[in-house]
Amino acid sequence: MAAISSTYKDPSGNFVWWIEGDRLAIATLIGDANTRETSESSYKAVQLSTSTSYQADGSTDNDLGAAITDTTATSITVEYATGFSANDLIKVDDEIMKVVSVTNSTTIVVVRGYHNTIAATHVDATLIYELDVVTDGFVISYYGEPDKLTAIDGTTAIDLDNSLQSLLIEYVKGHVLLDSAAKQVDPNMAQIKIGLGQAFLSNFRDGLRRFGMKKNDKTGGTRGIVPPNLT
Amino acid sequence: MAAIEFTGKEIYSRVLQAVPGVSQNYVLNLINQGLIEIGQYKNKIEHAKADLVHDQMWYTLDDDRAITINKVFRCAIKSNEGDYVIIPRLTRADLKTFDVESTSVATTFTEL
């Protein structure tokens, strides 16, 4: 597996991240990533050391031992399978595959079309390239959203903190009452339902404010604007 | 089980007490509408991991994927020893330093 170069032993000292629109950037201040250097400063894409673990027989290349003739086959034949291990990412033509397991010395099981590439057919003896990847190389923490409820049954719990579940009931009751008021023929009954509905929704809003601040949307500000060249 | 942990059915039964005869599907839609509204507040912290790719600076955070990422506030990367080390966030003042050459790659995040 590829690894972060020993130069970057303590990532906190050299790496930075930021959000730009709907993209997350991870960059480093040192290294020699000439191809991905930012235009206005010296932030660079992360460079990983490469592995030569595929050349199990000492040769320089590893390639397909047989053509891949369909786009769904997950068991593929290679020249030397022993150099692979689970979670390796490999690239055959433009398709990226994830190694699931090694069956024997010439067969591996893969996930096709990984990283949103398109599964395709490949001819015999196509070269296999290692994709330099640190599997699960970074972790992000974020303010998430509750999962959608797909059915009303007695087993699926609402994906909410306990303290917020009663507020959800207030929200639903409030809206049901307001909608129901709109259908009332009797204006007095409608007025009662409107009052109750508004009270429930007011409780909902007040309760929600007690539990947390409203999130900002994803912002970046400079998305798509090229820094001016002042030289 | 926590003292308060409602299922959809329990919420539905409570709503029926206030307004008898409402349909399940109608209440289901209202529950999901309420969840969206509650989701706009900072009340749930989640974590997800992804692969760190050689020479790739940008990782796309699409909201229409399995993991919705509204507000990332922390990032950690794996060191050679296999530990996750928190890395600092670049402040807004430095955002002129973005890459005009590379394109982002749709990234598969796995929720932890």
Same domain, A166 and A186: yes
Same domain, A127 and A197: no
Residues A178 and A110 in one domain: no
Position A147 in a domain? no
* Confidence band, pLDDT 50/70/90 cuts, at residue B94: low
Q: Is A141 helix (H, G, I), strand (E, B) or coil?
A: strand
A-B C-beta contacts closer than 8 Å: 352
Site from A6, A26, A148, A150 to mutate, B interface, most B CB atoms within 10 angstroms: A26
Residues within 8 A of B (CB atoms), A 82-121 only? 89, 114-116
Q: B105-106 and B58-60 as β-strands: parallel, antiparallel, unpaired?
A: parallel
Do residues A31 and A104 both lie within one domain?
no
| Pair (A61, A135) in one structural domain | yes
User: What is d(CA B84, CA B74) in angstroms, rounded to the nearest whole number?
Assistant: 12
pLDDT at A174 over 80: yes
CB contact under 8 A, B97 and A22: no
Higher pLDDT, B26 or A211: B26
Neighbours of A52 (CB within 10 A): 11
Residue A182 forms part of a structural domain? yes
Q: Name the token pair of A177.
A: 């009452």
Judgement on whether residues A43 and A72 belong to the same structural domain of the protein: no
CA A89/CA A135 separation, integer angstroms: 9
Which residues 159-198 of A are in CB contact (within 8 Å) with B? 159-169, 171-173, 175-177, 180, 196
3-state secondary structure A180-214: HHHCCCCHHHHHHHHHHHHHHHHHHHHHHHHHCCE
pLDDT at A177 over 60: yes
Q: Are residues A63 and A42 in the same domain?
A: no
Per-residue pLDDT at A103:
93
Q: Does some domain include residue A149?
A: no
**Average pLDDT of the segment spanning B13-25:** 88
* Closest Cα in chain A to B50: A136
Residue A153 falls within a domain, yes or no? no
Residue A49 pLDDT exceeds 90? no
Please give the pLDDT value at position A227: 52
Same domain, yes or no: A43 and A70: no
User: Which residues in chain B are closer than 8 Å to A139, comparing Cβ atoms?
Assistant: 47-49, 75-77, 84, 112
> Is A82 part of a structural domain of the chain?
yes
Closest to A97 (Cα-Cα) out of A122, A131, A68: A131
Nearest-angstrom CA–CA distance, A119 and A111: 10
Substitution target in A9, A42, A90, A139 with the highest count of B β-carbons within 10 Å is A139
The verdict on A29 and A62 lying in the same domain is no
B97-112: per-residue pLDDT in tens?
455 455 566 777 777 7
What pLDDT score does A222 carry? 43
pLDDT, tens digit (0-9, with 9 covering 90-100), for B68-78? 666 788 999 88
- With CB atoms and an 8 Å threshold, state whether B54 touches A169: no
| The pLDDT of residue B26 is above 80 | yes
Asked if residue A72 and residue A91 are part of one domain, the reply reads yes
Give the pLDDT of residue B68.
Answer: 65
- CATH number, domain with residue A106: 2.40.30
Contact B44 A143 (CB under 8 A): yes
**Residue of higher predicted confidence among A192 and B96:** A192
Nearest CA to A33 out of A49, A22, A9, A20 is that of A49
Ramachandran category for residue B40: left, alpha or beta (phi over 0 → left; psi -120 to 50 → alpha):
alpha
What stretches of A29-160 adopt beta strand conformation (E)? 44-45, 48-49, 75-77, 89-92, 95-104, 107-111, 128-130, 133-143
Average pLDDT taken over every residue of chain A: 76
Query: Is there a contact between B38 and A131 if contact means CB atoms under 8 Å apart?
Result: no
Count of domains in chain A? 3
What average pLDDT does range A25-52 have in this prediction?
A: 59
Structural domain including A206 reads 162-211
Q: pLDDT value at position A32?
A: 46
- Say how far apart CA B68 and CA A104 lie, in whole Å: 39
Name chain B contacts of A220, Cβ cutoff 8 Å.
Answer: 95
- Structure tokens, B66: 């399995």
Domain boundaries, chain B: 8-39, 46-112
Decide if B38 and A163 are in contact by the 8 Å CB cutoff: no
Contact B71, A215 (CB under 8 A): yes
A97 shares a domain with A112: yes
CB distance A214–B106 less than 8 Å? no
Chain A positions in Cβ-Cβ contact with residue B61 (cut-off 8 Å): 19, 22-24, 218
B52 vs A194, residue with greater confidence: A194
CB contact (8 A) between residue B28 and residue A177: no
How much of chain B, in percent, has pLDDT values that exceed 70?
A: 72
Q: Is the pLDDT of residue A55 over 70?
A: no
